[in-house]
């Protein structure tokens, strides 16, 4: 009899445990479903909010937009003696920013300093080869001592060779990567720690539409510009993940600009932009804390199309409609350009 009672007890315990575990798993399943529904609702609300914000801001006239001022801010522009850089420097100086210019071309530096002086502005110019890591770190300290911590860093310097892969000398491929992308690591490492400790700062990368879509005679240049997009996106994610939402980041991808960099090219799709218009757009993007900017604006919708159409059709469109390779065919070789040789 005792054995039967013991067995019955065991059976009861087993059933209790079985039922309890079922109740617990049904409970935790219900909890998980409730959390998933809550997360889906929150995500939908966030998505609707951000889409609505983007649409409203797109159609809000400039004078109604909340734009930050650059007045009194220390802004460092690399390649600031060149085409777009010089326009950036002068426009920022006119808006009372404390502008620091880094460029390898001393003669051009003198030119931009004189132009600023003629307009009644003092700018701080330094002859810096941004491909030299030690030089970047050394001059970063000099800037902090002479002008103060940098609020806005504009990585603008760049070079292009304009040759096909087999024509490109090996050292120029390396140089393109050093100037166009690797230097960004040194400049950001030099100035980001101060931005973090001051809980404020803005990092701007001047990339290119060729950083979103490869093109002819640009196997080196385009790859460096794609790399800047990866640099920008990954650093942005890293900063946000670490809670540094106060550091702003902007990447700008322009079409051809009439600075001499792409001399000999004959763009078929539309005419080249003037450097002053590109500089103006970059400054607006900084003031509006825009994250991703293409020039023209519509290119941000057009360039991703390549992922959604057959690759063969992409080639046909590039060759027959946009005529991208034909635009680049007349491009001068870097050997003929003093500016690039100097760099
Ligand atoms: N010109 C275009 O069609 C075009 C199109 C898209 C993007 N971009 C990008 O815009 C930016 C500005 O281009 P730009 O047209 O004004 O070119 P630019 O040649 O007129 O100016 C570039 C400046 O960078 C400087 N520089 C080069 N190597 C350097 C180094 N090692 N250290 C310091 N300074 C150095 C040069 O001396 C020059 O003053 C570049 O990043 C370029 O890739 C240009």
Q: Check pocket membership of 83 for ligand 1, CB cut-off 6 A.
A: yes
% of the chain surpassing 70 pLDDT: 94
Residues 134, 120: Cα–Cα separation, whole Å: 33
pTM for the model stands at: 0.90
pLDDT score at 338? 45
Which atom of ligand 1 is nearest to 257's Cα?
3
Cα separation, 37 vs 168, whole angstroms: 56
Residue 103's Cβ-count burial label (10 Å; 0-12, 13-18, 19+) is: buried
- What integer pLDDT is reported at residue 341 of this predicted model? 45
Over residues 55-83, the pLDDT tens digits come to 888 888 888 888 999 999 999 999 999 99
**Residue 178 alpha carbon to ligand 1 centre in Å:** 13
**pLDDT above 60: residue 276:** yes
**pLDDT at residue 184 greater than cutoff 60:** yes
Confidence band, pLDDT 50/70/90 cuts, at residue 18:
confident
Ligand 1 in contact with 77 (CB < 6 A)?
no
d(CA 161, CA 125): 26
Sheet holding 152-155, edge to edge: 124-127, 98-103, 74-78, 152-155, 201-206, 247-254, 292-295
- Please report the atom of ligand 1 found closest to the CA of residue 343: 28
Judged against a pLDDT cut of 70, whether residue 337 lies above it is answered with no
Whether the per-residue pLDDT at 38 is higher than 90: the answer is yes
Q: How far is the CA of 41 from the centre of ligand 1 (A)?
A: 46
What are the residues whose beta carbons fall under 8 Å from the beta carbon of 217, sequence distance 6 or more? 162, 163, 164, 328, 329, 331
Ligand 1 centroid to 196 CA: how many Å? Answer: 28
Mean pLDDT, to the nearest integer, of 335-339?
A: 50
CA angle 192, 157, 191 (to 5 degrees): 10
Each residue's pLDDT tens digit, 211-268: 999 999 999 999 999 999 999 999 999 999 999 999 999 999 999 999 999 999 999 8
> What pLDDT shows up at residue 10?
63
**Bond before 296 cis per omega within 30 degrees:** yes
Among 137, 171, 221, 255, the one annotated catalytic:
221
Say if residue 85's pLDDT is above 80: yes
Q: Where are the alpha helices (DSSP H) in 102-218?
A: 106-118, 133-146, 170-177, 183-198
| Catalytic (active site) residue 221 | yes
- 92-138 pLDDT, tens digit per residue, is 999 999 999 999 999 999 999 999 999 999 999 999 999 999 999 99
């Amino acid at each position: 009899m005792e054995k039967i009672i013991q067995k019955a007890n065991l059976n009861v315990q087993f059933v209790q445990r079985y039922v309890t575990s079922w109740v617990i798993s049904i409970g935790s399943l219900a909890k998980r479903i409730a959390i998933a529904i809550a997360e889906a609702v929150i995500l939908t609300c966030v998505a609707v909010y951000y889409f609505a914000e983007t649409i409203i801001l797109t159609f809000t006239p400039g004078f109604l937009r909340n734009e930050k001022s650059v007045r009194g801010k220390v802004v460092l522009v690399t390649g600031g003696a060149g085409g777009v850089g010089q326009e950036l420097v002068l426009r920022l100086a006119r808006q009372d920013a404390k502008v620091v210019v880094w460029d390898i071309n001393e003669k051009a530096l003198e030119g931009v300093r004189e132009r600023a002086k003629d307009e009644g502005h003092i700018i701080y110019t330094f002859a810096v080869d941004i491909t030299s890591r030690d030089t970047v770190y050394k001059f970063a300290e000099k800037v902090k001592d002479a002008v103060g911590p940098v609020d806005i860093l504009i990585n603008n310097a760049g070079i292009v060779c304009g040759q096909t892969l087999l024509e490109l000398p090996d050292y120029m491929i390396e140089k393109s990567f050093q100037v166009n992308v690797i230097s960004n690591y040194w400049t950001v490492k030099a100035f980001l720690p101060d931005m973090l400790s001051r809980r404020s700062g803005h990092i701007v990368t001047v990339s290119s539409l060729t950083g979103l879509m490869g093109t002819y005679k640009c196997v080196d240049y385009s790859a460096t510009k794609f790399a800047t997009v990866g640099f920008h996106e990954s650093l942005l994610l890293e900063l946000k993940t670490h809670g540094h939402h106060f550091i702003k980041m902007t990447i700008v991808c322009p079409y051809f600009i009439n600075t001499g960099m792409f001399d000999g090219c004959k763009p078929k799709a539309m005419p080249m932009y003037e450097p002053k218009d590109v500089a103006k757009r970059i400054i607006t993007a900084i003031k509006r804390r825009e994250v991703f900017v293409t020039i023209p604006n519509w290119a941000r919708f057009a360039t991703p199309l390549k992922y959604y159409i057959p690759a063969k059709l992409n080639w046909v469109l590039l060759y027959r409609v946009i005529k991208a390779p034909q635009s680049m065919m007349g491009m001068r070789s870097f050997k003929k350009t003093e500016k690039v040789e100097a760099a």
